[in-house]
Amino acid sequence: MPLSDRGGPAPRLPMLLEAVLSVGTDLELRATLQRIVDAATGLTGARYGALGVVDPERHRLTELFTAGMTDAERQRIARLPDGRTGLLGLLVQEPQPLRLDDLTADPRSGGVPEGHPPMRSFLGVPIRVHTEVFGNLYLTEKRGGSFTEADLGLLRILASQAGIAIGNARLYETARQRERWIEGAAAVTTALLTGEPAADALMTVAEQARLLADASAGVVLQPTPEGGMEIVAASTVDDPGDLVGTSIAPGSPVLTQLLGGEAVFVEDSATDPRMTTHVRSRFGPSMMLPLQSGGRLIGTLALPRRRGGRPYTAVDRLLASQFASQAALALVLADAQHDRERLAVYEDRDRIARDLHDLVVQRLFATEMMLESTRRRAAAESPEFGSRSTSGCGSESESESGSESDENALLARAVDELDSTIQEVRTTIFALQQPPADAPASFRGRVLRETGGAAALLGFQPSVHFSGAVDTLIEAAEADRLLAALRGALAAAHRRTGVTAITVEVAAGPQGPRLRVTDDADPPTTVSWP
């Protein structure tokens, strides 16, 4: 095939060599594509050029790299063609070289976007990477006439070399992309296994996936008790706004696939009939990937792009699916680790409770019994000392009697203090035996939860004493009223100044439940119920 318009020496051979060298100087794919279209227009003398990237699944153009148009001309074009109609669509459906002297006279011509400059001469060739059609080169408006066979020959040589350059750039881009996803998955795993709360863990997955996929948003949905799905974590470039809490109602066409652990790929969220949420209008291409591991469905990771955004490629889908699987496994491992840590805490609390009961309470109780016995013996012996006294030693007898009375009072107070300490330790044992993250089911646990919540406001922990079988003798209605009274008494104590200690006494007996709340204000305040 000749390389000049008149045969003979090929004056444009140096230009061809320069163009071939230029398209292979960059491994960044988008820069390579722009170099190709720029080289093609310069080599053939075309006024306008474009390189359309073909989506082999949808048989349309996903991106269009242009050359020759000014910024003002670009702004006048309402939209770029998608390759579904006209000569651009013809080359997508039939990837063969095409040369026309006047495209306006060809019946296959059409679909030229409104605002595009006038065009007549046309030259188009496919770009193949190995055996796959990657895209098409489109050239129009040759300066000085129509495109020739020599132009077509030069363009075909350039296209073949461009295919090699694109293949190398794609391999490099895919390797870099895969490396980023692997690093992202490793970062997510590391973050999750450091013990983040569940909500923060899901947010970490959503944010990392959004950045890796170059998406407008990254959201995590989880199944609801009603059978739907709800967005529980959302990461966006802007304010998430009303994304969190958005639900997919039961019966939605896409819900069966999501709950079944299937991946869903959407070309345009705003127009796809399967999408039913009110936020779909702001998004375009989207991936909805299952977060499941070992047959357990944790939720769904959705990665929507803005309307008009680039569609996800097959490589994007593959890497994002692998990331979702890795993230799901990390979530399961983090959850298991959290359970093990909680179990260790529970076991430690049980051990402390047993030690307190077996050692501390028993010893305190034994000490209390000894002191009580001593006090009773001293009280029983004091009259005998009084009968021995004589009229001559009355003052000495009165002194001894007063001393014995003081000792009895001191012993009685020591017994009371020990009894109060035993009640405190027993209350602590009960609190230790309750799972801290669970809502208390017993009345005793509800009282401790109220006083524990008040401690955050008071700055100290109220002392709580129970008397009687409060969990079995106090009925539900009385328990609610007593808790309401306790809540009000604690709130009133918080409003008073100078309160540094509060004692809460709850008793259950034949007369019904009783509550007594005493503080150490000046003067002390006591609230009783009923």
Residue 5 has pLDDT above 50, yes or no: no
Residue 510 contacts by C-beta under 8 Å, 6 or more apart in sequence?
none
pLDDT band at 401 (very low <50, low <70, confident <90, very high): low
pLDDT value of position 7 = 39
CA dist 170 and 337 (Å) reads: 40
CA angle 227, 229, 234 (to 5 degrees): 165
Among 17-26, 328-337, 470-479, the minimum mean pLDDT is found in: 17-26
Among 80-89, 147-156, 479-488, the minimum mean pLDDT is found in: 80-89
Q: Can you tell me the mean pLDDT for 397-422? A: 65
Q: Which residue has the higher pLDDT, 113 or 170?
A: 170
Residue 419 contacts by C-beta under 8 Å, 6 or more apart in sequence?
368
Most confident range, picked from 197-211, 307-321, 407-421: 307-321
Residue 391 has pLDDT above 50, yes or no: no
pLDDT band at 433 (very low <50, low <70, confident <90, very high): low
Q: Can you tell me the mean pLDDT for 339-363? A: 65
**What is the per-residue DSSP string for 111-141?**
-PPTTPPP---EEEEEEEETTEEEEEEEEEE
Among 261-275, 362-376, 381-395, 483-497, the minimum mean pLDDT is found in: 381-395
Assign 77 to helix, strand or coil: coil
Q: Which residues of 133-171 are buried (b: 16+ CB within 10 A; e: fewer)?
A: ebbbbbbbbbeeeebbebbbbbbebbbebbbebbebbbe
Q: Can you tell me the mean pLDDT for 476-482? A: 84
pLDDT value of position 389 = 45
Residue 251 has pLDDT above 80, yes or no: no
Residue 341 has pLDDT above 70, yes or no: no
CA angle 429, 435, 436 (to 5 degrees): 95
Q: Can you tell me the mean pLDDT for 237-247? A: 75
Most confident range, picked from 85-99, 204-218, 402-416, 464-478: 204-218
Assign 245 to helix, strand or coil: coil
pLDDT value of position 352 = 67
- pTM check: above 0.75: no
pLDDT band at 32 (very low <50, low <70, confident <90, very high): confident
Q: Could you read off the pLDDT of 441-465 as tens digits, one per residue?
A: 678 878 887 887 777 777 788 888 8
Q: Can you tell me the mean pLDDT for 236-246? A: 75
Q: Can you tell me the mean pLDDT for 166-182? A: 87
Locate 406 and state its tokens: 């003081």
CA dist 493 and 116 (Å) reads: 79
Residue 339 has pLDDT above 70, yes or no: no
Among 20-34, 176-190, 215-229, 335-349, the minimum mean pLDDT is found in: 335-349
Among 29-33, 245-249, 423-427, the minimum mean pLDDT is found in: 423-427
Locate 322 and state its tokens: 């692998």
Q: Are 277 and 265 in contact (CB under 8 A)?
A: no
Nearest to 263 by CA among 335, 222, 339, 318: 318
Q: Could you read off the pLDDT of 303-336 as tens digits, one per residue?
A: 999 887 888 888 888 999 999 888 888 888 777 7
- The overall average pLDDT reported for the chain is 78
- The residue type of 151 is D
